[in-house]
Amino acid sequence: MDALIAAVKWFVDLGASAMLPIVITIIGLIFGVKFGKAIRSGIILGVGFVGIGLIVTLMNDNLGPAAQAMSKRFGMSLQVVDIGWPGMSPLTWASSIAIVAIPVAILLNVVMLLLKLTHVVNVDIWNVWHFAFTGALVYLATGNYMLGILGVCVHGFLAFKFGDWFAPVVEDYFELDGVCIPHGDSAFMAPFAVPVEWALDRIPGVKKINITSDAIQRKFGVIGEPMIIGAVLGCLIGALAGYDVKGAMQLGIQMAAVMVLMPKMVKCIMDGLMPISEVAKKKMEKRFHGTKFYIGLDPAILLGDTQVVSAGLLFVPLTILIAMIVPGNRILPFGDLATIGFFIALAVGIHKGNLFRTLISGSIIMYITIWIANQTIPLTTALAKAANSNLLARSPEISALDQGGCPITYILTQLLHTTNVTGLIVIGLLYAFCIVFTYVQYRKKKIAKEAAAGEQAAKD
C-alpha cells in the first residue's frame, strides 16, 4: 500500500505538463497509434501546457500585484487571501482522499461509458484534483472517509455530464471538434449562464446588443485587434492600480503578449491531441456502434479564444468591485484573478462570444463564487492544517475562489454537515434549477439537431 501511495504521489508531483504527455502517449499506444507518433503527440501536448503555464505565471506575477494595489487603493480591508488554484491544488493532492481519487475517477468514467451514461473519455488526470477537493472537504466536514469518496464520485458524475451537455458549445463556438471540458469552475459555473442566455434572448432591444472583440476590430480596424485590446485593458488595470505611466504601459504590453501567445499555445495542445483523438474516437465509435465520444480536457484550451481572454481581463477589476458588495465577504481576490477566464470560459461560448452577455452572467458567477468561498473558509483552512502547510504561517485562514467557491462542493458539505440552512436552501435550489434548465435546453437542441440531420439524410 505504501508503495502504491508513493507511486501515485510521484505521478501527481509530475504536474500537468509532464503527467498529460505520459497519459496521452499510453492512450495512443492502447488505441494502436504508432510509437513515434504517440510520443510526439504527448510531447507537443506537454509543450503547449508548459507554454500556457508560463503565460499564466506571467499573468499572476503582473496582474496579481496590480489587483492587490487596486484593492488597497479602493480601501478594501479583507483579511483572508485567495491563494488560487496554484496554492489549493497541492493541498488537495496532499490529502488522504487524493490517494484514491485517481483510480476512483477512472473507474467511474469507465463504468459511465459502459452504461452509456456519458460520452466523455477523460484523459485529463491532473484535474482529478477537483474531484478530490470535494471529497476532501466532505471528509473534513463529516469525519467519514467513505462519504468523502462519495463526494469524489458525485463531483465526477456531474463533471462528465457537464462534459456531455456543453460539448456542442465547445464544438460549435470554440471549433474544437471531439473535445469537451468536464473540469473545474468552467464546467460547474456554466449552468448559471444558460438561463441568462435564454432570458436575454427574450428582452426586446437587449437581445440585439452584441459586443465582441471581432466586432470591435471590424469597426475600428487595427485598433480593435485582440493584441491592442489586451494592451488597452492592461494599461487601464495599471491606471486603476495607481501605477505610473511606465508601470501601466509595461502591464499593457504584457497583456498584449498574453493575447498573442495564448492562442499559439492552445494550437500546440490541439496539434498534439488531434492524432490521438481521431484514432481513439474511431475505435470507440466502432466498439459502441457509431456513438460519438468526446475527449475530456483542461479548460485552459479555451483560453485561446480572444473573447475569453478579453472577458478575463475585464473581470480583474470587476471581481474586486464585486468582492466589495458581497455581504459579509472576508476574501481578498488575488491568486485566481489572473485566471478568471477559467471561471467564465464556457459562459463565453454559451453567449457565442457576446461580451455584453458574458459581463452579466460572469458577474453572477463571480458573486456566487465569492459568497460560497466565504462559507468554505473553515474547511479550506482545515485542509491546509491537515497538509501541514506553511501558508498558515502567513495567515491564520486561507481560501481559494477556484473550487473553494464551487457550488456542488458547498451543497454536498452542507447536506452532510449543515451549518447554514438558509445558504444551503438558496444555493441548492438555485443550482438545481440551473442544472435542470441546462439539461432541458441540451435535450431540445439535441432533438432538433437529430431531426435536422434526419431530414437532410432523407433529402440525400
Tell me which range, 173-177, 196-200, 221-225, 329-333, is most confidently predicted by mean pLDDT.
196-200
Determine how many CB atoms are found less than 10 A away from the CB of residue 130. Answer: 31
Give 8 or 183, the one with higher predicted confidence: 183
pLDDT in tens, 267-289: 787 788 777 777 777 777 777 77
> 49-53, 98-102, 217-221: lowest mean pLDDT where?
217-221
- At 453 the pLDDT is 66
Give the chain's mean pLDDT.
85
Look up cell 484523459; give the residue: 123
Kindly tell me the sign of the dihedral angle through the C-alpha atoms of 304, 363, 122, 115: negative
Measured between alpha carbons, how far is 52 from 223 in angstroms, rounded to an integer?
Answer: 26
- At 390 the pLDDT is 78
- At 358 the pLDDT is 95
Q: How many CA atoms lie within 13 A of 64 on its CB side?
A: 15
Measured between alpha carbons, how far is 17 from 195 in angstroms, rounded to an integer?
Answer: 35
- At 109 the pLDDT is 94
pLDDT in tens, 322-373: 988 999 898 888 778 777 888 999 999 999 999 999 999 999 999 999 999 9
pLDDT at 224 over 60: no
Question: Identity (one letter) of the amino acid at 262?
Answer: M
- At 47 the pLDDT is 87
Cα distances from 249 to residues 66, 238, 347, in angstroms, run 13, 8, 30
441 — pLDDT class (breaks 50, 70, 90): very high
pLDDT at 204 over 90: yes
pLDDT at 4 over 70: no
Mean pLDDT of 143-172: 95
pLDDT at 239 over 60: yes
- At 8 the pLDDT is 66
29 — pLDDT class (breaks 50, 70, 90): confident
Q: What is the dihedral of CA 395, 397, 398, 399, to 10 degrees?
A: -150
Using DSSP's 3-state secondary structure scheme, residue 74 falls into coil
- At 337 the pLDDT is 78
Kindly tell me the sign of the dihedral angle through the C-alpha atoms of 46, 51, 57, 63: negative
Question: Identity (one letter) of the amino acid at 129?
Answer: W
What letter does residue 390 receive in the DSSP assignment? G
- At 127 the pLDDT is 84
- At 343 the pLDDT is 93
- At 75 the pLDDT is 65
What percent of the chain lies above the pLDDT cut of 70?
Answer: 91
Burial of 106 (0-12, 13-18, 19+ CB in 10 A): middle
Using DSSP's 3-state secondary structure scheme, residue 150 falls into helix
- At 163 the pLDDT is 95
pLDDT at 90 over 70: yes
- At 428 the pLDDT is 97
Mean pLDDT of 29-41: 84
Look up cell 456543453; give the residue: 166
